[in-house]
Amino acid sequence: MSGGLAAGLAAAVFALACSGPSPPTESDDPVTLTIGVPQSRQLNPTHSISTLVATLTDERLSAIDAIGRTQPRLVEHWTTSSDGLTWTLKLRQNLRFHDGSPLTSADVKRSLDAVMNDRTRAVASVCLADAESIAAPGPLEVAVRFSRRCSFFLDDLLITITRTLPDGTTAGTGPFVLVSQDETSCTLEANDRYHLGKPAIERVVFRSYSTLREAWAEMLRGSVDFLWEVGPDSAEFLRDQASVEVRSFTNYYAYTIVPNSAREPFSRPEVRRALSLAVDRAALLRHALRGQGVVATSPIWPHTWARKAETTPLPHAPDEAVALLRQALGRPEHVPRGSSPLFTFTCLVPQGFTVYERLALVVQQQLRAVDVDMRLESLPADVVNSRVMAEGDFDAVLLPILGGPSLSVLNRLWHSPSPSPLWNFWGYRNASVDAALDALREAPDEAHTRAAVAELEAALRADPPGIVLVWSDTLQAVSRRFIVPESGNGRDALHVLGAWRHHPEEARQP
């Protein structure tokens, strides 16, 4: 998802999230977790308080674990018919919205219908576009009939189920309820009716900070318990604080220079492959992210269960890249390197973020070594969004591109034709990739899924849609007053906040 899109959506969700129902009764001394959200130039701009709040207030039908497998959440279990076309979902008993009203199959059907019928929301679903019918045969049972087999349906269940209240606000079913909000903070309280039990943390307060330094200072003063994201530059010096545990997980997006396939010479697979060969990803990771991440080998999220654990790294072969480029561009081979650029293009870079700037500079230097002149145009994120998605006026753009955790995201991004101008706006087309994605979509079991993913990865490496660079790590700092469960290892600790425990023996720092 692009930064502009994320920012827009985040603002909308924040507005919705912070207009929740009236607060429940407070206890005298609630266990409170204060979450600091810094707005740092080191960080990716795709996250905002609103999206984080929604994570806690709106429960999804299913959830994703640390290796990308779908786990039941509001749905207790599911079955498929022998032909694989009918899915029957069984909801948990005693599910209730924050206002106390019960969640039934009718609510789920209404949400799935909305996704299926709303073209804007349908971009979030791969399978529902092929749904023939959605029925609620029982109060806790939902049956979906498809016209074609679709193994991504479990990923489609990652949608949240909410109910619009008479006052126009929405009620979710998540572990926390939004009770108040102002310009810089949101307060949530534990949901007594949460189906997995009331969380041990009774109150959550989100606070926004203009700088990481400000947020970190507040954490060291004991005013903040959980720093949602710290930048890679600071990680080295923040890790060794005795009162704080610094955790990390690999983000679901890879920093990628996405070329516009509609423009020359990027329509040629050889050029895209040559550019990919020209990049030294290890150096990128070292210089731009200070080692806080994973070198990308393909656009597929490296930790997904369906992918082979050991994958050959993408080679750094500048000589081969030059040869490929000269061949693709019809340039004579005897011309010495460095005399003149083979071609020049402009890469749009979202403005104001150190990570993007460093990545762009290092890639620029590395491409210069293969006689490619990548010029950098730093623009505000909304301008980049407009140029890229609305106008299509770009040679290339540096963006974080999703690669997981669910496999359906790969279908949305790389299958042609694109289901929406919000996905694959760069016009990538490759028959092998489409075939592999189709096989993945119709995979009847895990073995077929693994085979399809391997096929897809091979096709994406042979014809890379862009210069996939690195998967960055998100670093989070948690006060030792709280204990994050093991289920939070390798993933965003916020996603398991309902299972956090308070460590009463650890006092706040003065």
How many of the other CB atoms lie within 10 Å of CB of 305? 16
Residue 288 corresponds to which amino acid?
A
189 touching another protein, by CB under 8 A: no
Smallest distance from another protein to CB 212, Å: 5
Among residues 81, 133, 211, 420, the one that binds another protein under rule CB under 8 A: 211
Residue 368 φ/ψ, nearest 5 degrees: -65, -30
> Which residues, 6 or more positions from 274, have their beta carbon under 8 angstroms from its beta carbon?
320, 321, 322, 324, 325, 328, 370
234 touching another protein, by CB under 8 A: yes
Nearer to another protein, 147 or 211 (CB): 211
Nearer to another protein, 95 or 362 (CB): 362
373 touching another protein, by CB under 8 A: no
Alpha-helix residue ranges (DSSP H) falling in 369-469:
381-385, 408-414, 431-441, 446-462
213 touching another protein, by CB under 8 A: yes
240 touching another protein, by CB under 8 A: yes
Residues 332-361 that bind another protein (CB under 8 A): 349, 351-352, 354, 356-357, 360-361
Closest CA to 452 of 272, 460, 148: 460
- The continuous run of DSSP H or E covering 229 comes out as strand 226-230
364 touching another protein, by CB under 8 A: yes
Window 470-509: contact mask with another protein (x via CB under 8 A)? ----------------------------------------
CA–CA dist 485, 184 (Å, integer): 28
Smallest distance from another protein to CB 38, Å: 9
- The site for another protein, by CB under 8 A, has a size of 37
Tokens of 434: 């489409």
220 touching another protein, by CB under 8 A: yes
Instruction: Tell me the chain's radius of gyration from C-alpha atoms.
Output: 24
Among residues 3, 4, 18, 42, the one that binds another protein under rule CB under 8 A: 42
Cβ 362 vs Cβ 283: under 8 Å = yes
* Local structure of 128: helix, strand or coil: helix
By CB under 8 A, which span of 40-48, 257-265, 327-335, 407-415 interacts with another protein? 40-48
Residue 37 φ/ψ, nearest 5 degrees: -120, 100
* Residues near another protein, by CB under 8 A: 40-42, 210-214, 216-217, 220-221, 231, 233-234, 236-238, 240-243, 287, 349, 351-352, 354, 356-357, 360-362, 364-365, 376, 378-379
